Structure 1
Amino acid sequence: MSTETAAAAAEVVAPPPAGWEEARSRVYAVGLAAALPAVSRPLADADGHTLAEPLTPRTDLPAFPTSSVDGWAVRGDGPWQVVGRVLAGHTPPPLQADGSTVEIATGAMVPEGTTAILRIEESTRTADGRVAGTPRPTPEWREPGEEAYAGEELLPAGTPVDPAVLGLAASCGHDTLRVRRRPRAALLVFGDELLTSGPPGAGRVRDALGPSVPAWLRRYGCQVRPADVVGPVADTLPAHVAALRAALADADLVCTTGGTMHGPVDHLHPTLEALGADYVVNTVAVRPGFPMLLARLVDDDGRVRFVAGLPGNPQSAVVALVSLVAPLLAGLQGRPMPVLPQVTLAEPVPGRGDYTHLALVRWDRVAGTAHPVRHVGSAMLRGLSGADGFAVIRPGTSGVGGDRVPVVPLPLTPGERSW
């Protein structure tokens, strides 16, 4: 074999990048196929999790007829003789005689035999102490099952648990919820050139991803402990293999920063090969952020773990998070693939040829408009700090003011549903 032939045979031909929308769909599908197991959590510990089964009431809601007002539960025509009082939290005896009434509080159980409830402010007392007035023609109480019937599906599996869901679950009579276990995530920071403290200088730059990526992951529902953030990892293959193997021992997802290309100190691809990983996505046709990847490892016992290779440039790394990590985590948590909202561009946004362009924007939710921000180079974070998300400019197009385009919202508060 000639030298030229041997060199050609040894050359690795990179696969074509996946389209951005295709990549999102692909990683969501593998995440959903590996959805995390269901666990039972007390309501106090379920916030931020995801329902693993539909939420249904254990009884009708309300479970019994409930007064909507403070007033008088009356039977028959008035005026009525007062025979008692009903407060919330008690089971009253029936009203047995026409012309009788009991004082009733809002939320109290309506006595059997009640024909109407007279509001307290619309009642008067007769000289002999009886109650007089005209009840309103519409019932002043809630009927059993008015809100929901026992066993009725109120929320589907895949619903994120938030304070409103917790309140509803409690009203349904639940003490615990079946939820998906929250994903455990870790971060490996690659790059000998990185500083972890102080200002940049002398050819070295400050690591901006070590502090920020775990915070993004928490906002997507992950558990990330301080000990799960490791780096900078030495720029050698043995150091990369050892660090990734250790991180995968406990994590469902390991994110790495840098090393996603094939440069002289880019060891991520050989590390994945050494650990027996297979690629779900290897590069995405998106700018910024092109050299991103997602790989999967399957143990002999069937346990599935993932490695997300984020580019080293900070804004590109965030593009990889919203493009690959967010849909993967939605799948792992059993959540539906979210539909991206539409916004109106307030100003032109350039396209990137055959690549999808994710352009940082401020999103005016009242007006429904997106405004491009400045300082948006792939190595810059100034623009990101003032942005609400990324406008999606599809391949082969440019954004014109007035165009309707999808937007990928950033999860700006912990547990926020949008992504």
Structure 2
Amino acid sequence: MRTSLTVEEALELVLAEARGELGVEVLPLKEAWGRVLAEDLAALVDHPDQDDTAIDGYACRQEDTLGASRESPVRLKVIGESPAGKPFGGRVGPKEAVAVYTGAPVPEGADAVIRVEDTRREGDEVLLFAPASPKDIRPKGDDLRRGEVYLKRGDLLSPGRLGLAAAMGHPRVKVFRRPRVGILTTGDEVVEPGEPLPYGGVYNSNAYSLLGLVWEAGGEPVLLGKVEDEPEKVLARLEGAGRLDLLLTSGGVSMGEYDVVRKVLEERGEVLFWKVKQQPGGPLLLARLGELPVLGLPGNPVSSMVTFFLYGRPFLFRLLQRTEPPYRALKARALTPFRGAPGKKVFRRGVLSFEGELVVRTTGNQSSGVLRSMAQGNALVVIPPDRDVQEGQEVEAIPLTFVL
């Protein structure tokens, strides 16, 4: 078992365990939002499928409109109209125009469009107060060309990508199965919300924080409840977890007499590493129980969320073959000081905002037991080992993407 790893070393080992093959399912588009594509998608059609107009106005021949102005308008005969879905079937000849509406095909013979704001209709004629222009004509295939790939295997189907899949003509898509992630909370002191809170007890917040994090990272959370700090009960719950792609335990991985998760995994599984040189979340553990990867998260609420974000989220992204990185670091100016720690990389909770530039300020109390810092904050401020950050200095901030 390796111990006292750097953050980078620990992440490398975690990602190496994300080697399972996820199944594939076919979903209608209406059910595919938030899923990850399991195949490249090529356009089945051109879009637009003909030259069309980007504005409301009149289609005509540009040469007939040269020199048109407010002082010297050009008069054209209107021979029809072309609304979207009902194209004009004739041909535009000299000194003629067709009323067109956004998205409508440009009639044959026309090579320019004049916006309606620069015209005045007079019966079956239209006065043009400016020259017509071809720049408001969208050429065939301007957006999509049949046969070209616009969405890649591993792309998350965001609203924009879901709409793009529809525009390409796909009624259904192949997506990866959501990884099943078990969430097991340990601790004699833990009770479920709604139950009477005994003296010294705490409500099971970790299970629900992790549930949200797993969903947000593309997984399917499986709540396994809470188990007491007894090795036999912990082992029975771990072995009875069912088919999972990842198991998260919360608590029981530190150095105390009742931190039994680590002891059970050492005896019945294989512990790959324990303890990372970071704050919060130092007692993180990675193990295997048979073929099942297990991430042993610390019990403190902030530590549990931060370690999942830094390690569990990348694990799920790797399983899902996501094209995007699990998180990105930005440069921001610190509006408040942030304290570091000797020999450890530190992740403080901050509020990131744009105030003429990216700035970040502390959420206040940075104790790993203060869960409200994860509710109020929207970023992790990264502080290298053995240094503090002073007000006005540039820092690295990782946006917490689950915060809107």
TM-score w.r.t. length of structure 2: 0.85
Give yes or no for the alignment of 1:85 onto 2:81: yes
Give the C-alpha shift of residue 66 in structure 1.
0.9
2:243 aligned partner: 250
Aligned to 1:317: 304
Instruction: Work out the CA distance in 2 between the residues paired with 1:137 and 1:411.
Output: 44
1:297 to 1:165, Cα distance in 2 relative to 1, 3 A: farther
Distance, in Å, in 1 between the alignment partners of 2:13 and 2:381 is 21
SS of 1:167 mapped into structure 2: helix
Match in the other structure for 1:261: 254
1:306 matches 2:293: yes
Q: Output the CA distance in 1 between the equivalents of 2:60 and 2:296.
A: 71
One-letter code of the match for 1:384?
Answer: M
Instruction: Indicate the SS of the match to 1:64.
Output: coil
Cα contact 2:41–2:152 (8 A) shared by 1 = yes
Deviations along 1:261-281, whole A, 9 cap, x unmatched? 3543333234435654552x4
Partner of 1:341: 330
2:133 is aligned with 1:137: yes
How far 1:377 moved relative to its partner?
1.7
Residue 192 of structure 1, CA deviation: 1.4
1:209 aligns with 2:206: yes
Match of 1:154 in 2: 150
The answer to whether 1:369 aligns with 2:394 is no
Q: 3-state SS of the aligned residue for 1:17?
A: strand
Q: C-alpha separation between the residues in 2 aligned to 1:363 and 1:339? A: 13
Q: Is the 8 A contact 2:92 2:98 kept in 1?
A: no
Matched, 1:272 2:231: no
Give the distance between the partners of 2:100 and 2:368, measured in 1 at CA: 66
Q: What stretches of structure 1 of length at least 5 have no aligned partner? A: 1-13, 300-304
Asked if the contact 1:375/1:381 (under 8 Å) is kept, the reply is no
Q: Once the 2 structures are TM-superposed, how far is the Cα of residue 289 of structure 1 from its aligned partner?
A: 1.2
Aligned equivalent of 2:343: 354
How far is the alpha carbon of 1:19 from its aligned partner? 0.5
The offset of 1:355, in angstroms, is 1.2
Q: Residues 121, 296 of structure 1: CA spacing in aligned structure 2 closer, same or farther, 3 A cutoff?
A: same
Residue 339 to residue 102, structure 1, CA distance change in 2 (3 Å)? same
Let me know the Cα RMSD of the aligned residues.
2.8
Uncovered stretches (5+) of structure 2, i.e. residues with no partner: 65-73
Equivalent positions of 1:68-83 (< 5 A) are 68-74=54-60, 77=64, 80-83=76-79
TM-score (norm 1): 0.82
Alignment partners' CA distance in 2, 1:108 and 1:374: 56
Could you tell me which amino acid in structure 2 is paired with residue 49 of structure 1? R
Asked if the contact 1:360–1:384 (Cα under 8 Å) also holds between the matched residues in 2, the reply is yes
Q: Distance in 1 between matches of 2:372 and 2:92?
A: 74
The aligned residue for residue 20 of structure 2 is: 34
Cα displacement (A) at 1:382: 3.4
1:122-168 deviations in whole A, cap 9, x for unaligned? 345678x4445364233432101222433334344333222122122
- Write the distance in 1 (CA, Å) between the matches of 2:300 and 2:114: 69
- The residue aligned with 2:29 is 43
Cα distance change, pair 402–178 in 1 and its aligned pair in 2 (3 A): farther
Contact 1:41 1:179 (C-alpha < 8 Å) held by counterparts: yes
Q: What secondary structure sits across from 1:361 in the alignment?
A: strand
The amino acid that maps onto 2:284 is M
